[in-house]
Amino acid sequence: SEEKSLNFIEELIENDLSSGKTKTLVTRFPPEPNGYLHIGHAKAICLNFGLTQKYGGYTNLRFDDTNPVTEKTEYVDSQQADIQWLGFQWKNELYASDYFDQLHSFAVKLIEDGLAYVDHSTAEEIATQKGTPTEPGTPSAYRERSVDENLALFAQMKNGEFADGTCTLRAKIDLSSSNMLMRDPIIYRIKHAHHHRTGDAWCIYPMYDFAHGQSDSIENITHSICTLEYVSHRELYDWFIEKLGIFPSKQYEFARLNLTYTVMSKRKLMQLVNENMVSGWDDPRMPTISGLRRRGYTPESIKEFCERIGIAKRENLIELSLLEFCIREDLNKRATRVMAVLDPIKLIITNYTKGEEILIGENNPEAEDKGGTREIPFSNELWIEREDFMEEPAKKWFRLAPGATVRLKHAYIVKCEDFKKDESGNVTEIHCTYIPESKSGEDTSGINVKGTIHWVSAKHAETAEVRLYDRLFTVESPDSEEGDFKDYLNPESMQVIKQAYIEPYLANAEQGIGYQFIRKGYFSVDKDSKPGNIIFNRTVGLKEAWKP
Ligand code: ATP
Ligand code: MG
Ligand code: MG
């Protein structure tokens, strides 16, 4: 493989390892189990797991499950399945909720050290007290409560003696800090809510900033990698670790993945699911890992994509066509080439008196071993694509037209002698003669034809449902348009072909394997497919819009 320069995170890890500051590299992937993982998460997964694959050490999977209201076990399960499907295995499966006792003790320690207080101010009052970036904040009336009073009140909070919103625990830091997050942030709030793991054991829950860094520290995470939104949180992250005197995990930030024609936040993807704008989290149009998998993406193509986009310190927007390029490249190497007719029209070979025969087709000219061969039945009645015939051919038309010749892929050269139309003028049948000496691989006819078309023998064909997809949104950045992002959904993002014809070989097509329908794109079997009711998804078209 080609030499790649180090990204900035690899550079700092190499420094930390060679200076001895880091003995064993420990990273973590910390999803909140409040939805399915998307391609942005794949970037963070590849980064965190990729670093410990490269430098040794290990990566934990930690569910950041400190918000009882939004989290579900269904999401925990799907997130695990998606990480494993990408090909990564975590060392420890951990839950921030397992640290609730420990985090609670940390909060008590801060209170004891005079560094936290119970505040009975309302949310609005606290917001006002924060001040503005140019004006310092003002102290809450409760800021100078004694340690004993705070300990007693915090115990009452924990014991469920207060209703939601009555009071909070705030860190006592610096009301004039230029970093608004340092102006006495809330670290615990009351929520009488059932938690997916701890049940009703708790009615106070730690805020993200009080849970994340300390969880990293408990796990001896050396490099806690997150996205740029957290730059301003770093000061607070370090402050808690310093005041508590615990393992000094360090936070580093990289640019999140933004992709054109896509939204990438679990909250927004959930809206699409809940409002039935897609069929589910794994709808093949979704940018979720499960959606991409169902669409026919391979783990390798997603990892290659993450490799190509690299790790940056500044926000950017990546072209969806780069992701498509990566799967096309991957499937080009591995996909069996087959024939399927999506918009059929009958072609009859009037001089083919043999009835039928078996032809042999090469599976993949791009593969090293050519992918082997398969049998393709041929007969005097075929299905071809409607678009491969023109009654009045345009200039440079090399496909079928009255009097024209083409090669039928893997078969013979045929000449169009006649055609039939129905009352409304639609062509219903094309009549051809074939040249017996022109059989592919043993052609002695001496005839040169410019066009080759695909076909399926009518009598042997199986039927299939074929789903064609387009981008889910009509604009590049649905998030930054006026109004609601859902106003920009592409009404033509899915086209369903109820009855396409496929060669018999595909009756046994398996899920998770990419096929090239020649001239039509790459397809894979949908998870709802059943014998006798085969469904294919188009993963990606053949045309290359993006050039590396
Ligand atoms: P979302 O808004 O989609 O829920 P999130 O950041 O709230 O995103 P988490 O479950 O907290 O989702 O994310 C787990 C990890 O994945 C975090 O470390 C986060 O920084 C990272 N991550 C999330 N979205 C992206 C993205 N678009 N690009 C790169 N990393 C991401
Ligand atoms: Mg998050
Ligand atoms: Mg989120």
pLDDT for res 72: 86
What does the alpha-carbon distance between residue 447 and residue 436 come to, in Å, rounded to a whole number?
Answer: 12
pLDDT at 117 over 60: yes
What does the alpha-carbon distance between residue 140 and residue 244 come to, in Å, rounded to a whole number?
Answer: 24
Residues 332/510, Cβ–Cβ less than 8 Å: no
Out of 204, 233, 254, pick the residue that ends a domain. Answer: 254
Q: What is the pLDDT of residues 45-96, one digit of tens each?
A: 999 999 999 999 999 999 999 998 887 889 999 999 999 999 999 999 999 9
pLDDT: which is higher, 370 or 496:
496
Question: In terms of domains, do 85 and 228 share one?
Answer: yes
Q: What is the pLDDT of residues 7-20, one digit of tens each?
A: 999 999 999 999 99
Per the domain annotation, does 528 fall within a domain? Answer: yes
Question: In terms of domains, do 235 and 105 share one?
Answer: yes
Out of 400, 425, 454, pick the residue that ends a domain. Answer: 454
Q: Taken in order 180, 185, 190, 196, is the CA torsion positive or negative?
A: positive
Per the domain annotation, does 283 fall within a domain? Answer: yes
pLDDT at 123 over 60: yes
Question: In terms of domains, do 506 and 409 share one?
Answer: no
Residue 547 makes CB contacts below 8 A (sequence gap 6+) with none
Out of 454, 479, 514, pick the residue that ends a domain. Answer: 454
Number of domain units in the chain = 3
Per the domain annotation, does 261 fall within a domain? Answer: no
Per the domain annotation, does 278 fall within a domain? Answer: yes
Per the domain annotation, does 240 fall within a domain? Answer: yes
Question: In terms of domains, do 19 and 145 share one?
Answer: yes
Which ligand 1 atom lies nearest to the CA of residue 38?
A: 3
pLDDT for res 367: 85
Question: Any catalytic annotation for residue 266?
Answer: yes
pLDDT at 544 over 70: no
Residue 127 forms beta bridges with which residues? none
Question: In terms of domains, do 274 and 362 share one?
Answer: no
pLDDT for res 371: 87
Question: Ligand 1 centre and the CA of 44: distance in Å?
Answer: 7
pLDDT for res 545: 55
Question: In terms of domains, do 395 and 525 share one?
Answer: no
Q: Taken in order 185, 188, 192, 195, is the CA torsion positive or negative?
A: positive
pLDDT at 546 over 70: no
Query: Could you tell which of 32, 41, 83, 272 is best to mutate to test the pocket of ligand 1, judged by most ligand atoms within 8 Å of the CB?
Result: 41
Task: Tell me which of 130, 145, 250, 266 is the catalytic residue.
Answer: 266
Question: In terms of domains, do 418 and 449 share one?
Answer: yes
Q: Which two structure tokens, joined as six digits, stand for 175?
A: 């009301």
Question: In terms of domains, do 55 and 136 share one?
Answer: yes
Question: In terms of domains, do 326 and 370 share one?
Answer: no
Residues 63/83, Cβ–Cβ less than 8 Å: no
Q: Which two structure tokens, joined as six digits, stand for 331?
A: 């499937």
Per the domain annotation, does 521 fall within a domain? Answer: yes
pLDDT for res 262: 97
Residue 152 makes CB contacts below 8 A (sequence gap 6+) with none
Mean pLDDT on 373-395: 96
Question: In terms of domains, do 529 and 414 share one?
Answer: no
Ligand with an atom nearest the CA of residue 32: 1
Question: In terms of domains, do 167 and 83 share one?
Answer: yes
pLDDT at 384 over 50: yes
pLDDT at 370 over 90: no
Which secondary-structure segment (H or E) carries 525? Answer: strand 521-525
Q: What is the pLDDT of residues 324-340, one digit of tens each?
A: 999 999 999 999 999 99
- Which CATH number covers residue 373? 2.40.240.10
Q: What is the pLDDT of residues 188-205, one digit of tens each?
A: 999 999 999 999 999 999
Mean pLDDT on 382-400: 96
Residue 186 CA from chain centroid, whole number: 33
Per the domain annotation, does 55 fall within a domain? Answer: yes
pLDDT for res 518: 96
What does the alpha-carbon distance between residue 165 and residue 144 come to, in Å, rounded to a whole number?
Answer: 20
Mean pLDDT of the chain: 96
Per the domain annotation, does 31 fall within a domain? Answer: yes
Structural domain range at position 303: 266-336+464-540
Lowest mean pLDDT among 202-206, 252-256, 281-285, 362-366: 362-366
Question: In terms of domains, do 293 and 424 share one?
Answer: no
Mean pLDDT on 367-389: 94
pLDDT for res 1: 47
